[in-house]
């Protein structure tokens, strides 16, 4: 029986070389307020939604052209193009799931000619007074570390007979990985997996990921992660 893989990729700090969301607020917001807000998020004192609302409020004046130029200056890991090509060649569905905002993801994907990638994120608009207005179409109160509930996108876009792959790096991915079969982690997510004893593959770039997926594909018997199966089943029952 052919193995079916679904690939889910974080954006900020995973596809982009730096966290664009955090960087925008550190660049255009009140620096002291921003650092305090991010510290509270990382220590679980506030939810991801509360964090984004506070960060947007910290930006008093915004020049849209400056914002766009700043976004355009941030590079992506160009091996992501290799993963996109690989997923198409091998008929694996790939989704980007981000706790960041469509405003800069659209801009980056347009620049990189990656417009056809399906992604889920929070929304961001700039109003007539140059204020940042966020909205959260995929909010779930059970997902406090991500205002865009990544868990739900994984469950809604994969089935019992499919293997889920998650690739990420940070705080918004901590809850998500508990529901995935194969986890590729770096930076803060790697440390979290170590502490929580969650099985993961370390990676430096997406070429590492491709090499490991090829290995997983070649295995005669491939087991799903038992704890992830239990977690998914729990969600199905509760719904």
- Tens of pLDDT along the chain (239 residues)? 688 999 999 999 999 999 999 999 999 999 899 999 999 999 999 999 999 999 999 998 899 999 999 999 999 999 999 999 999 999 999 999 999 999 999 999 999 999 999 999 999 999 999 999 999 999 999 898 999 999 999 999 998 899 999 999 998 999 999 999 999 999 999 999 999 999 999 999 999 999 999 999 999 899 988 888 888 888 877 66
The CA distance from 143 to 172, in Å, is 9
197: left (phi over 0), alpha (psi -120 to 50) or beta: left
CATH number for the domain formed by residue range(s) 4-17+77-121+138-238: 3.40.50.1000
The CA distance from 42 to 124, in Å, is 22
pLDDT of amino acid 115: 95
212, with CB counted inside 10 A (0-12, 13-18, 19+), is middle
The CA distance from 90 to 4, in Å, is 10
Q: Write phi, then psi, for 3 (nearest 5 degrees).
A: -80, 135
Token look-up 């009140």 returns 30
pLDDT of amino acid 154: 95
Q: What is the pTM of this model?
A: 0.95
Which residues fall within 8 angstroms of residue 31, CB to CB, at 6 or more apart? none
The CA distance from 28 to 227, in Å, is 41
The CA distance from 60 to 15, in Å, is 29
pLDDT of amino acid 1: 65
Strands 4-9 and 93-101: parallel
Closest of 154, 146, 148, 152 to residue 93, by C-alpha: 154
pLDDT of amino acid 239: 61
């Amino acid at each position: 029986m052919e193995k079916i893989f679904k690939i889910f990729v974080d954006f900020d700090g995973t596809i982009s070389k730096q966290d664009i969301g955090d960087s925008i607020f550190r660049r255009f917001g009140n620096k002291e307020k921003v650092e305090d807000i991010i510290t509270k998020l990382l220590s679980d004192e506030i939810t991801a939604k509360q964090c984004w609302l506070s960060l947007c409020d910290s930006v008093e004046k915004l020049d849209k052209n400056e914002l766009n130029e700043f976004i355009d200056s941030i590079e992506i890991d160009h091996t992501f193009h290799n993963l996109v090509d690989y997923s198409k060649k091998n008929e694996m569905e790939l989704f980007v799931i981000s706790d960041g905002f469509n405003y800069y993801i659209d801009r980056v994907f347009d620049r990189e000619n990656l417009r056809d990638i399906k992604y889920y994120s929070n929304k961001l608009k700039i109003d007539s007074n140059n204020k940042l207005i966020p909205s959260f179409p995929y909010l779930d109160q059970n997902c406090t570390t991500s205002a865009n509930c990544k868990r739900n996108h994984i469950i809604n876009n994969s089935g019992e007979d499919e293997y889920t792959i998650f690739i990420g790096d940070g705080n918004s991915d901590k809850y998500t990985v508990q529901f995935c079969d194969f986890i590729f982690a770096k930076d803060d997510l790697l440390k979290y997996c170590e502490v929580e004893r969650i099985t993961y593959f370390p990676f430096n770039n997406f070429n590492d990921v491709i090499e490991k997926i090829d290995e997983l594909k070649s295995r005669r018997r491939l087991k799903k992660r038992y704890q992830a199966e239990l977690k998914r089943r729990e969600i199905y029952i509760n719904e």
